[in-house]
Chain A
Amino acid sequence: MRNIGLIIRRELGSYLKRPSGYFIGAAILLLHGLLFNAFAISDEAQLSADVLRIFLYWGGIVTMLGGILFSMRLLAEERWTGTDVLLFTSPIRESEIVLGKYLSALSFLSLVTLSSVYLPALIFVNGRVSVGHIAAGYLGMLLLGAATLAVGTFASALTKNPFFAVILSALFVGLLELCWPLGQISQPPMTELLGFVAMHTKHYSQFQRGLLSLSDVVFYGSVIYLSLLAATKVLESQRWR
């Protein structure tokens, strides 16, 4: 725990000191605002709950994008700049490195995501939605972001080039998402099987309606666990190369 805390502190310090963290954060917030304005708000009268649902739909996509962008520098950049050597010659476990890096990026992503809460709050100006709906939606958005970030962390462990890492994680997340339309055009039981891995379309839809489903939470938890485990194993295997 002590080592994980050390890495989180150093990483967060680095986010605050370098422009890239602010830049990605600002870009995410800008996208939230633009998409809210473009899709959720319309001239015609609509239900407040629908406005919130549409915001959450696009918000999920933006958070996934944030997860991919924040993950790219986690492990790939350390190898790119050679600072991984400091970590790998210290008495600290690979799982602690992965967890420390992941949790630091997750806290930054969560901070940025939660900063967008002023947008659904605007609905209260002319309408009425339940706070529970917003809370469930944001929980879903955070879980979706956390799962994307974990997949990105795994991709970041596979390469030493941060640019390739971002492409690789976008590819992984995109492929999982692509399984949904593939499932729709295939026969059962493939429809269910393929559709099950779509992180946004399948598992985020309940959260958008303000509903909390345990199976979705378990799904995201499993994706996070498996991705981080895989990233740890990749780091451990580096000694054998």
Chain B
Amino acid sequence: MIVVEGVSKYYGRNPAVRDLSFQIEEGECVGFLGLNGAGKSTTLRMLSCLLLPTSGAIRVGGFDAEREPHEIRKLIGYLPDTPPVYPEMRVDEFLRFAGRLRRMTSKQVDARMPTVLEKTGLADVFDAPIETLSHGYRQRVGIAQAMIHEPKLLILDEPVQGLDPVQIVEMRELIRSLRGEHTILLSSHLLSEIERTCDRILILKEGRILASGTEDEVVTQMRAQPAGYREAVNKQWTLVEVRGGEAEVRAALAVGDLTIMELTRAAGGICRLKVQSGADPRELVAKQIVEAGLGLLTLTRSQSALEDVFVQLSHTGDGDAAAPGGAEA
């Protein structure tokens, strides 16, 4: 669906994106994660044909972004960081205009409108002027205009920005419900959003891809990075509470690369321990404990490895750890 090859974008002398290469298949939901200024919006704007790369090539749906932007525009629905809505228009009037701009006939818009209003939760306010709506509802109108023409590719730049917690949950549900119907690209500086909605993550820092893949793949890639990230990933542990003797527990868990970092005894014959391992050890731990005939009470992972990586990302400066350079997309 999308092929990006060696794309760089400079604003004057400042690089916004440097030598970016990645591919996105049809039907995927991919999240661009990075701090403000990491190059997320610039990348999405280039994919939407709003900007041309300084160098490199972008193909969307088989069309070249430089020579055939109009063909690409037929395929995409784009929601920028501020929803592009005309405040004086009514919701349905605006969506009709957006649909007609995307070459839909009046009949097609009429047929599509109820589905879009229903999906985006705008059915109750369809005849309200947009200027009277709250920020959360305007954001929904923004998504509605991006999906009215059933685009193959939906590009959402910071879709949860400025929303309150309830609206964030609703927006997350909405984006999830759109998976499968469209290929979705979204950006966020909030890890939790990307983690919960996307199949694949691209971590950007200073215009470069630092890691890409599923959550586990990203964590693995980060392990291969210089010290800063490795430490962050390695800090992760799993909390286990088991009813049984200390020796039995130790024996049961002496398998693979499981390491018991800490073991304390609690009342009622319960052992509380922190376990560390290369991959997610929960399945292995559960299997070992049950097979040893011990009672498994708790099995929880500490904050996600990705979160550790991301926190580390935000704290590292321009030192070695922040510029691994060799990450492949």
User: Most chain-A Cβ atoms within 10 A of its Cβ — which of B11, B84, B88, B98?
Assistant: B84
Stretch at the interface among B72-80, B191-199, B224-232: B72-80
Least CB distance, B253 to chain A, in whole angstroms = 54
The answer to whether A90 and B52 have CB atoms under 8 Å apart is no
The answer to whether B98 and A88 have CB atoms under 8 Å apart is no
User: Most chain-B Cβ atoms within 10 A of its Cβ — which of A83, A87, A90?
Assistant: A90
Specify the chain B residue showing the minimal Cβ separation from A239: B52
User: Most chain-A Cβ atoms within 10 A of its Cβ — which of B70, B86, B87?
Assistant: B86
A132 touches B (CB below 8 Å): no
Specify the chain A residue showing the minimal Cβ separation from B75: A91
The answer to whether B86 and A82 have CB atoms under 8 Å apart is no
The answer to whether A89 and B76 have CB atoms under 8 Å apart is yes
The answer to whether B49 and A89 have CB atoms under 8 Å apart is yes
Interface residues of A in 4-54 (CB under 8 A from B): 6, 10, 13-14, 17-18
A240–B78 CA distance with the chains assembled, in angstroms: 19
Decide: A86 near B98, CB < 8 A? Known: A91-B70, A91-B73, A91-B74.
yes
Please pick, from A81, A88, A92, the residue contacting B50 in the complex, using a CB distance under 8 A: A88
B89 touches A (CB below 8 Å): yes
The answer to whether A86 and B145 have CB atoms under 8 Å apart is yes
Residues in B neighbouring A93, C-beta threshold 8 A:
70
Contact string against A for B residues 99-113, beta-carbon threshold 8 Å, 1 for contact and 0 otherwise? 011110000000000
Residues in B neighbouring A218, C-beta threshold 8 A:
none
Size of interface on B: residues with Cβ below 8 Å to A = 30
Contact string against B for A residues 140-170, beta-carbon threshold 8 Å, 1 for contact and 0 otherwise? 0000000000000000000000000000000
A87–B102 CA distance with the chains assembled, in angstroms: 9
Please pick, from A17, A82, A84, the residue contacting B88 in the complex, using a CB distance under 8 A: A17
Specify the chain A residue showing the minimal Cβ separation from B81: A82
Contact string against A for B residues 24-56, beta-carbon threshold 8 Å, 1 for contact and 0 otherwise? 000000000000000000000000111110000
A84–B48 CA distance with the chains assembled, in angstroms: 13
A240–B70 CA distance with the chains assembled, in angstroms: 16
A51–B25 CA distance with the chains assembled, in angstroms: 73
A10–B101 CA distance with the chains assembled, in angstroms: 11
User: Most chain-A Cβ atoms within 10 A of its Cβ — which of B89, B98, B101?
Assistant: B101
The answer to whether A83 and B97 have CB atoms under 8 Å apart is no
The answer to whether B51 and A18 have CB atoms under 8 Å apart is no
B168 touches A (CB below 8 Å): no
A13–B89 CA distance with the chains assembled, in angstroms: 9
The answer to whether B84 and A83 have CB atoms under 8 Å apart is yes
User: Most chain-B Cβ atoms within 10 A of its Cβ — which of A3, A84, A89?
Assistant: A89
The answer to whether A18 and B88 have CB atoms under 8 Å apart is yes
The answer to whether A82 and B78 have CB atoms under 8 Å apart is no
The answer to whether A14 and B50 have CB atoms under 8 Å apart is no
Least CB distance, A77 to chain B, in whole angstroms = 10
The answer to whether A87 and B52 have CB atoms under 8 Å apart is no
Least CB distance, A110 to chain B, in whole angstroms = 22
A131–B129 CA distance with the chains assembled, in angstroms: 45
The answer to whether A82 and B84 have CB atoms under 8 Å apart is yes
A214 touches B (CB below 8 Å): no
A1 touches B (CB below 8 Å): no
Least CB distance, A95 to chain B, in whole angstroms = 12
B190 touches A (CB below 8 Å): no
A18–B87 CA distance with the chains assembled, in angstroms: 10
Contact string against B for A residues 59-91, beta-carbon threshold 8 Å, 1 for contact and 0 otherwise? 000000000000000000000011111111111
Residues in A neighbouring B93, C-beta threshold 8 A:
13
Specify the chain A residue showing the minimal Cβ separation from B129: A17
Least CB distance, B275 to chain A, in whole angstroms = 49
A239–B70 CA distance with the chains assembled, in angstroms: 13
Least CB distance, A190 to chain B, in whole angstroms = 39
Residues in B neighbouring A6, C-beta threshold 8 A:
97, 100-101
The answer to whether B101 and A85 have CB atoms under 8 Å apart is no
Please pick, from B69, B83, B97, the residue contacting A10 in the complex, using a CB distance under 8 A: B97
Specify the chain A residue showing the minimal Cβ separation from B85: A83
A89–B49 CA distance with the chains assembled, in angstroms: 7
Specify the chain B residue showing the minimal Cβ separation from A83: B84
Specify the chain A residue showing the minimal Cβ separation from B79: A85
Specify the chain A residue showing the minimal Cβ separation from B149: A90
The answer to whether B51 and A241 have CB atoms under 8 Å apart is yes
- Residues of A participating in the B interface, judged by any CB pair closer than 8 Å: 3, 6, 10, 13-14, 17-18, 81-93, 239-241
Which 10 pairs from chain A and chain B are nearest by CB? A86-B84, A90-B101, A91-B73, A89-B78, A17-B88, A85-B84, A83-B84, A82-B82, A91-B74, A85-B80
